[in-house]
Structure 1
Amino acid sequence: MEGHTLWVYAGASLALILTPGQDMLYVATRSLAQGRMAGLFSAIGVCCGILVHTALAAFGVGAILQASEGLFFALKLAGAAYLVYLGIRLLLTRALPPELATGGAALSPLALFWQGMLSNITNPKIVLFFLAFLPQFVDPASPHPTRDLVFLGVLYAAMALPVKAGVGLAGGSLSERVLKRPSTFVWMNRASGAVLVALGLRLAASER
């Protein structure tokens, strides 16, 4: 993988990690309900779930990259459409998610970890997202596309951990500010939505 491509991937990943999506909301609500350490264990669980998605995407997409031109083209178009769809939804989002106002029952650290992991793994949107996002940054001519995909997924999880852990440790104050200023949530969604739309268009326009 070229250095320029890796930097683009890192920048795009960071923008997406900062998106106030389901994972971040889950970590924030656990932090609100049980405190900073609950948010931290939830964040670790979520990032371990990312590694599971990485493995599924790497082995599945890696095989497609090597086996079929037609399947790769279909996957690319489907991924591009899905990224644009997510981006437009974020651009149009105006309401504050109700999840920020509720916390749920208290859980042990281990339960928080597993719940965070399962919440991430069982989210079909994240499965589709990884299938759409990671292949953009892998050269189909690479002799080891599966290895490249694994590297990108692990890098994504490593970048996500300090961000989501930070949200967990400071979840209370962060969520209170968002609740007091809903416009902050709207502008975060607009910025993240623009990134997703741009990535989708880039994927659709890219060559094999």
Structure 2
Amino acid sequence: MNVGFLLTSLIIVASPGTGTLITLAAGLSRGARASVVAALGCTLGILPHMAVAITGLAALLHASAVAFEAIRYAGVGYLLYMAWKTLEEDGPLKIELHDPEHSDGPVISHAILANILNPKLSIFFFAFLPQFIDRGETRPGFRMLELSLVFMTMTFVVFGAYGVFAASVRDRILSRPRVLKWMRRSFAAAFVAVGVKLALVSR
């Protein structure tokens, strides 16, 4: 496996973004289990981008301004929605003293949808991964799939680690209502910031 690919992928995965926010929020509000579920959701949200890249549809998305803008602004809108819901008592940061089984659904669905609506992932698979495929590769599609699965594995491990760490300080947050209040505001502001950043992304 190319060391450059691994290092660059790690930097991309570990950089703060939508997935990081969602797994941190899940860990702080619902515990370690929810954070792992959120990490899984973020990872599954990569699958559509991987599929279109391997089949060549990412090139079409990259070339089509209308398609790109539609996905981009859908993603921005969803992040702003997440910011608004985060401020509510029953939003994504709803504190669960016990982690009921039915809570996994909303956590994983938020995570999957957030990554599906992130056009930066399609750009990543279209512009970045091909650089690590030799021109003489006899099975470029298989090689692309292999690199994509490595990237997805790194995503799950890193996001899961973020979320489990957040869950480890959860009790301290629960015991401080003021901290919880500012935590909600901080996450809402972060979702808005990521949404603004996404709005400024160019093809």
Q: Calculate the TM-score normalised by the size of structure 1.
A: 0.58
Instruction: Determine if contact 1:41/1:109 at 8 Å carries over to the other structure.
Output: yes
Equivalent position of 2:27 in the other structure: 31
Tell me the equivalent position of 2:126: 131
Deviations 1:2-34 (A, max 9, x none): x5xx12111111111111111111111222222
In structure 1, what is the Cα distance between the partners aligned to 2:162 and 2:47?
19
| Residue identity in the other structure for 2:154 | M
Counterpart for residue 117 of structure 2: 122
- Alignment RMSD: 3.2
Question: CA deviation digits over 1:128-184, x for unaligned, max 9?
Answer: 2222221111123312111111110001111221111111111256898xx8xx9xx
User: Quick one: distance in 2 between partners of 1:17 and 1:174?
Assistant: 22
2:146 maps to 1:151: yes
- Structure 1 gaps of 5+ residues are 65-70, 76-97, 183-208
Question: Which amino acid is 2:54 matched to?
Answer: A
CA distance in 1, matches of 2:93, 2:109: 15
Rate the CA distance shift 1:8–1:39 in 2: closer, same or farther, 3 A.
Answer: same
Structure 2, unpaired ranges of 5+:
64-82, 97-101, 174-182, 187-203
CA-to-partner distance for each residue in 1:54-111, whole Å, 9 max, x for gaps?
Answer: 122112179x7xxxxxx9xx98xxxxxxxxxxxxxxxxxxxxxx79x85444771133
Picking from 32, 44, 51, the partner of 1:55 is 51
1:45 corresponds to: 41
Q: Which residue of 2 aligns with 1:88?
A: none
Q: Equivalents in 2 of 1:29, 1:150: separation in Å?
A: 30
CA distance in 2, matches of 1:160, 1:153: 10
Pick the aligned partner of 2:9 from 1, 9, 13: 13
> If the length of structure 2 is used for normalisation, what is the TM-score?
0.59
Q: Which amino acid is the alignment partner of residue 141 of structure 2?
A: T
Contact 1:138 1:148 in 2 (8 A): yes
- Identical residues among aligned pairs (%): 28
